[in-house]
Amino acid sequence: MPSQDIFKALSDPTRRRILKLLQDGSKPAGTLAEAFDMTKGSLSHHFNVLKAADLVRSERRGQQILYSLNTSVFAEVAALMFDLFKVDKKKGRKA
Amino acid sequence: MPSQDIFKALSDPTRRRILKLLQDGSKPAGTLAEAFDMTKGSLSHHFNVLKAADLVRSERRGQQILYSLNTSVFAEVAALMFDLFKVDKKKGRKA
DNA sequence: TTGATATTTTGACATACTTCAAAATAAAGT
DNA sequence: ACTTTATTTTGAAGTATGTCAAAATATCAA
């Protein structure tokens, strides 16, 4: 999974809010949608982006679809951020 | 500084590469531009976005402009990421 | 199989983003 | 003052993204 997908997924405030809503447990699409002033179609698009980045998982439970955080990818996200913000790679020491 | 600016700034691969190039010290705009197959005008736009997110600082040194990582904002970025990915907020425990 | 509920997919539209080429600004040297 | 070098800003073009309304899919219950 390209890291670009992860950064892109995190760049939208609606998607970050979805992630936060999932922090205290998985929720069906409709329940998540209630928290937003937006059509369910639009929300479904955001779910797709989050799934493409492997940040969430989905599972059908009867008529509804349960979304949950994919916690196993968080270590990778942490590594990406760490790599981006660590300093002093002991090279030429320009400035 | 709105966190949206930070996430947006990080969502572009060119900008992330600029940050990585600055990890071993500050560099003038022209030196950074050499690393990319892109006009200097385009690069300058990316510098602006990174500056708006307070991720880099710039300082004029004669004819050139030195860019450097703003390391003091990294703690904030780390906090943003931590907040986004921490789980188990001991609420209803839905799933 | 018909109907109701839950969700996704499609097609269209508007806004935002990335890029370029060219013009503008700034400092330094002649 | 002019020229050169370094960089930014502007204006325009193409592409990507977020959104909606409407159509499509899937499950469940009569």
Banded model confidence at residue B1, pLDDT cuts 50, 70, 90: low
Q: Is residue B11 part of a domain?
A: yes
In a domain, B73, yes or no: yes
For chain B, report the end-to-end CA distance as a whole number of angstroms: 35
Is B92 domain-assigned?
no
Given a cut of 80, whether residue B83 has pLDDT beyond it is: yes
In a domain, B56, yes or no: yes
Residue of B nearest to A10 (CA): B7
The pLDDT tens digits for B55-64 are 999 999 999 9
> Is residue A90, in this structure, part of any structural domain at all?
no
Q: What distance in Å separates residue A41's CA from the closest CA in chain B?
A: 23
b/e per residue B69-79 (b: at least 16 CB within 10 A) = bbeebbeebee
Q: Check B66 against A27: CB less than 8 A apart.
A: no
pLDDT of residue A31 exceeding 60, the answer is yes
- Of the two residues A30 and A1, the one the predictor is more confident about is A30
Domain membership of residue B26 as a residue range: 3-85
- Strand D lies under 7 A from the Cβ of residue A81: no
pLDDT of residue B27: 98
Q: Please give the Cα distance from B16 to B27 (Å, whole number).
A: 15
Predicted pLDDT of residue A95: 35
B54 is a domain residue: yes
The candidate with the shortest Cα–Cα distance to B56, out of B41, B40, B73, B39, is B73
**Nearest residue of A to residue B17, measured between CA atoms:** A84
- In sign, the C-alpha dihedral spanning B44, B45, B48, B53 is negative
Mean pLDDT, chain A, integer: 90
- Asked if the model's pLDDT at residue B94 lies above 50, the reply is no
Residue A22: inside a domain, yes or no? yes
Nearest CA to CA, how far is B22 from chain A (Å)? Answer: 8
Spell A29-61 as b/e; 16+ CB within 10 A means b.
eeebbeeeeeeeeebeebbebbeebbbbbbeee
CATH classification at residue A35: 1.10.10.10
pLDDT of residue B85: 78
Query: In angstroms, how far is D24 C1' from A10 CA?
Result: 29
Residue B31 within a domain: yes
Nearest nucleotide to B33, CA against C1' atoms: D7
Strand C nucleotides within 7 Å of a protein CB = 5-11, 17-23, 26-28
Strand D nucleotides in reach of protein CB atoms, 7 A cut-off: 5-11, 17-23, 26-28
Q: Whole-angstrom Cα distance, residue B47 to residue B33?
A: 10
> pLDDT tens across B3-47, in order?
999 999 999 999 999 999 999 999 999 999 999 999 999 999 999
Domain count, chain A: 1
